[in-house]
Amino acid sequence: MKRILIAITLVFVISLAIYLVMFFSSTEHTTPSATTTSTSSKCDISNNTFFVIYLSLPPTESLFLAISKNISRSIAYDTNGDVNVTFSLCIISFRDLSEEVRNVLANRTIFPVFGFYIEDNLGGIETIKRLFNVYGNYFIIREDLVPHIYIDYMRDLYIRYRGVRIPIYNVPKVFVLAEIVKPPQIYINETPVIGSLNSKYYMVIYEDVYCIACAHFFNETLPKLEKLAKNNTFAVILKNFIVHEDALSIHRNITALYLATRNATAVLEMLKILYSKVINGVKPTPEEVAEMIKSLTGHISFNTSIEVVNKVINKDISEAKKYGIFGTPGFIIWNREIGRGIVMIGNNQLEDILKIVEKYLN
């Protein structure tokens, strides 16, 4: 049964992507625009409303308009045309919701959350049973499906049509994937932390040592970020996210290095050395990395085959996917004081990141 549900979910995701491409390409005489609603006070959740709920960042209206249309088509298909719903779109802030809806969403982790309100009884329709949790007249996308939608459907980052990009959020220069209200796990015995965990902000970096974008981030942005770590503004948390399979053995070496020494600075220095080579087109081999570790720490080698090493790496990868991260470098910026974070993808400049933090995480 579980396999069937997974297969159905993937079919939905693929059909959604195909539909959206068809939706935009069918507008032959007009160029679609990526617009957002700047306020939530202009819409109400009433009958036949497709709603998108955000925390601080209003998401892209045209993207979710297309998704709402696809849901309508799926419902019509499931009922052989007996149920035809035309949704009005409402993009609304969590703080402006009724207490009833806020209570329903109290345990959600990832935003934006989308769903619809309808006064008809649709509970028996296949699309509804597969994709939504039902709370009276509210149909809200299952939280376990949201990362699948991000990972599988958003893998190419944007739907493109005539040069127009339609991201999840219209945030200049930075690709923001989601907002979150539950932080990533930090186990100091497993995870290298640069700076103090008493810092206001955590920057969790999910990386792959063969990732060229990670190399550019470490070369261009990390030195500035280290200064903020020294004054306890940011804590930098280093995690694994394997994109290149041949990088796995190197990650095992680095993870074993930290587990054996609890020396986050040594891990950071190793990563700097590795990325300085990668940015110049050189991919260090596991043997070379072992020699680097020996030179840096005085140890000949660490046990990279022990179960705990693989457990740490797999835990990092699973966590990243839970938040919808599908590529490297992936980031979570978490404000420890307000209990809210932002998920991002890609090599972003620190100045652009700080603008996002200042505007949406304060």
Ranking 29-33, 115-119, 227-231, 357-361 by mean pLDDT, the lowest is 29-33
Predicted pLDDT of residue 291: 87
Element (H, E) at 164: strand 164-166
Say if residue 143 is in the same domain as residue 229. no
Q: Which of 148, 166, 184 is the last residue of a domain?
A: 166
Question: Do 151 and 189 fall within a single domain?
Answer: no
Determine the Cα–Cα distance for residues 122 and 104; give it in Å rounded to an integer.
Answer: 19
pLDDT of residue 62: 83
How would you list the strands of the sheet with 113-117, edge to edge? 88-93, 49-54, 113-117, 138-141, 132-135
Which of 166, 201, 229 is the last residue before a domain boundary? 166
pLDDT at 97 over 80: yes
**Closest to 334 in 3D by CA, of 304, 356, 307:** 356
Q: What residues contact 207, with CB distance under 8 A and at least 6 apart?
A: 214, 238, 239, 240, 241, 271, 328, 329, 330
**pLDDT for position 93:** 95
Final residue of a structural domain among 141, 166, 191: 166
pLDDT, position 150: 63
Average pLDDT over residues 236-253: 96
Same domain as 89, residue 198: no
Q: What are the phi and psi torsion angles at 236 (to 5°)?
A: -100, 120
CA–CA distance, 21 with 159 (Å, rounded to integer): 7
133/155 same-domain check: yes
Q: Is the pLDDT of residue 191 over 50?
A: yes
pLDDT of residue 266 exceeding 90: yes
Residue 50 phi/psi, 5-degree rounding, is -95, 115
Q: In what order do the strands lie in the sheet with 330-335?
A: 110-111, 175-180, 340-345, 330-335, 201-207, 234-240, 193-194
* Domains: count for the chain: 2
Give tens-digit pLDDT for 3-52.
Answer: 444 444 444 444 444 333 333 333 333 323 333 333 444 588 999 999 99
Highest mean pLDDT among 4-8, 68-72, 90-94, 96-100: 90-94
Q: Are 264 and 298 in a shared domain? A: yes
Please report the DSSP string for 266-333 in residue order: HHHHHHHHHHHHHTTT----HHHHHHHHHHHHS-S----SSHHHHHHHHHHHHHHHHTT--SSSEEEE
Across the chain, what does the average pLDDT equal? 84
Name the residue range of residue 208's domain: 175-360
Q: Which of 192, 292, 291 is nearest to 240 (CA)?
A: 192
Tokens for 190? 């497993």
Same-domain status, 159 and 179: no
Q: In this model, does residue 91 exceed pLDDT 90? A: yes
> Are residue 96 and residue 239 in the same domain, yes or no?
no
Collapsing DSSP to helix, strand or coil, 341 comes out as strand
What would the pLDDT profile of 309-326 be if each residue is shown by its tens digit?
999 999 999 999 999 898
**Averaged over 216-237, what is the pLDDT?**
95
| pLDDT tens-digit map of 50-87 | 999 999 999 989 888 888 998 999 999 999 999 999 99
Question: Which amino acid is residue 176, in one-letter code?
Answer: V
Is the pLDDT confidence value at 206 over 50? yes
Residues 79 and 136 in one domain: yes
CA distances from 169 to 17, 46, 60, 108, 132 (A): 18, 25, 5, 19, 23
285: domain CATH number is 3.40.30.10
- Both 153 and 193 in one domain: the answer is no
